[in-house]
Each structure stands twice: as C-alpha cells, then as structure tokens.
Amino acid sequence: MVEELIIAGFGGQGVMVMGQLLSYAGLHEAKNVSWIPSYGPEMRGGTANCSVVISDERIGSPIVTEPMTAIVMNRPSLDRFEQAVRPGGLLIYNDSLIDREPQRTDIRIIAVPAVEMARELGSDRVANMCVLGAYLGATGVVALESVAECLKEVLPERRHDLIPLNVEALARGAALAKP
C-alpha cells in the first residue's frame, strides 16, 4: 500500500497539523512516511499545503505531483489541485468554504460541511479534524485511534485540553465518509 496525498488550504486552517498527524500516525503503525510542508509568503491567511506519503514499503520519492488523494480546505486549493488527482482517486473538500462543486467524474468526491460540523461540536477550530476524519473514514490508510493518540505529540501542550474535542471531530468526520 502506498498513499500519496496533498492537503491544501489557507494558513491557519490546520493544513500542516493534518499532515503531521497522518505522518505521526503512520510512524505509530510502523509505516514509512514523508511529510513536506509548503507555505505561501504569509504564515496566517496565505496559502499552505503539504505532501504526505504513507507506505508499507520504502518511499522512492517524497515529491507528490499526482496524488491519489487531495484534501482541500478552500476554493483556491480546489482550483489548483482538483485536476492533479489521479483518475480513480479521491477528493475531499470543505464545502462550507468552497462555493463550487468539483467537476471531475473519474474520482470519488466527498463534500464535508466542516465549519457547520465544528460549530455543532462547539468550536470552529476543529473543522480540519472533521475533514481529516472523513479522509480516515474513506480510506482507512491509518487508524483513527492512531491519529487520536498522536494528538498529544502534534498539538502544543497549551492545546491539550482540546484533544477530546478533536477526537470527537475526527469520529464525526469518519462517520460521514464511511463507504
């Protein structure tokens, strides 16, 4: 199994946290992983994306140009990465913030009302976890429990009080996307 994905959005949407969590969870499950962040000129509000590879085998290259999956959190990211997804791949998008539907017919598409789901849980800050949960539910590339365990390692200590809320957001997203 080799999973190559791109996660993209604006800085501040938790794009890098999603990539780090997947990488840590992959390591937790004794898989080979790579995570390459890419930032626009601004840290918050600018563009941000990361490439993640999770594999049972050695990773030949950490560069992802034709991902099997794209997770997009905003319209510019959808515009940029929709066509890059391999035929037969997966596109997960935050339809709370994206004002158009993807046009591809040769990939699986999952719309996640991430902001609304996060607000139902009591915090906009977990919208990214709703989307990440949908990815985990759709692919099973790593276990949701592995990602939940890695929250302590990825989130700063001052945010550890939000771990139960993040776990609930992951679970809700996963339930939305299970086949």
pLDDT tens-digit profile, the chain (179 residues): 899 999 999 988 999 999 999 999 999 999 999 999 987 665 556 679 999 999 999 998 888 999 999 999 999 999 999 999 999 999 999 999 999 999 999 999 999 999 999 999 999 999 999 999 999 999 999 999 999 999 999 999 998 999 999 999 999 999 999 77
Our count of domains for the chain comes to 1
Residue 120: give its domain's CATH number.
3.40.920.10
114-121 and 127-139 are packed helices; what angle lies between their axes, rounded to 10 degrees?
110
Q: How much is the pTM?
A: 0.94
The pLDDT value given to residue 102: 97
Per the CB < 8 A criterion, the answer to whether 170 and 148 are in contact is yes
> In angstroms, rounded to a whole number, what is the distance separating the alpha carbons of residues 103 and 179?
21
CA-wise closest residue to 29 among 122, 116, 145? 145
Task: Report the SS3 class of residue 39.
Answer: strand
Q: Which residue has the tokens 């997947």?
A: 22
For residue 40 the two structure tokens come to 């626009």
Q: Which residues touch 92 (CB under 8 Å, ≥6 apart)? A: 69, 70, 71, 72, 109, 110, 112, 131, 134, 135, 138, 177
Buried b / exposed e across 16-45, counting CB within 10 Å, b at 16+? bbbbbbbbbbbbbeebebbbeeeeeeeeee
- Runs of H (alpha helix) within the chain: 15-28, 75-81, 114-121, 127-139, 144-154, 163-177
Per the structure, the complete domain to which residue 34 belongs is given by: 2-177
Q: Which residues touch 122 (CB under 8 Å, ≥6 apart)? A: 165
The pLDDT value given to residue 11: 83
